[in-house]
Amino acid sequence: MSGRRRGTTRRSSNADGPANRSRSGRELKAGVEVRIETDASLAAAEVNAAYAWAEWPERETWRLEAIGRSCTWLAARDPEGTVVGVARVLDDGGLHASLWDVIVRPERRREGIGSALVRAALDRCADRRLVALVSTPDAVPFFAAMGFLAESHGHVAMYHRPTHAGVGAH
């Protein structure tokens, strides 16, 4: 869904040794082998599959195509090329960026894949003044451990959800 150039960074870990730390600091558990794509091209079916892992509603193809034009998707793929995790970055190109939809397949959680995706996203936004995200309550400790704060310099996030027909909870 992205027409931009595709960046790929291989992250793997050998079962014979301790967790592998890549040159950019992403750490995966021993035995985990994934490839982090930093400008992934994802099909609508792949995105909806990831949303299903989080028990989020399926999105229309046209919405996912619009997201792909305005955001950067990151994907974690296993050696066979199957998506095992996703994240996306919305970036204004100068000051601020936001991180969305960090999702890892349930059976692949706690392997370092989510951390690798978040660190790859933060690498893309390294020169921004602020990177924000919206988290589920269960994921707050994960993001807090990665340096995200509920408040920054006295500022807090606020939300507005349109109430027109067809807008779901997610």
Residue 150 belongs to a domain: no
The answer to whether position 48 is within a domain reads yes
In the chain the first and final C-alpha atoms are separated, in Å, by: 21
* pLDDT tens digits, 140-166: 999 999 999 998 888 888 888 888 755
The total number of structural domains that make up the chain: 1
Say if CB 51 and CB 84 are below 8 A apart.
no
To the nearest whole number, what is the mean pLDDT of the chain? 84
Range of the domain at 22: 8-145
Q: Does residue 165 belong to any structural domain of this protein? A: no
**pLDDT of res. 132:** 95
User: What does pTM read for this prediction?
Assistant: 0.81
Q: Are 38 and 23 in contact (CB under 8 A)?
A: no
- Is residue 106 a part of any domain in this protein? yes
User: What whole-number distance in Å separates Cα of residue 130 and Cα of residue 152?
Assistant: 9
What whole-number distance in Å separates Cα of residue 139 and Cα of residue 2? 27
**136 is a domain residue:** yes
Is residue 131 one of the residues assigned to a domain?
yes
Per-residue pLDDT tens digits for 75-122: 999 999 999 999 999 999 999 999 999 999 999 999 999 999 999 999
Please tell me the predicted confidence (pLDDT) of residue 2.
41
CATH number where 65 lies: 3.40.630.30
Q: Is residue 105 part of a domain?
A: yes
Is 163 part of any domain?
no
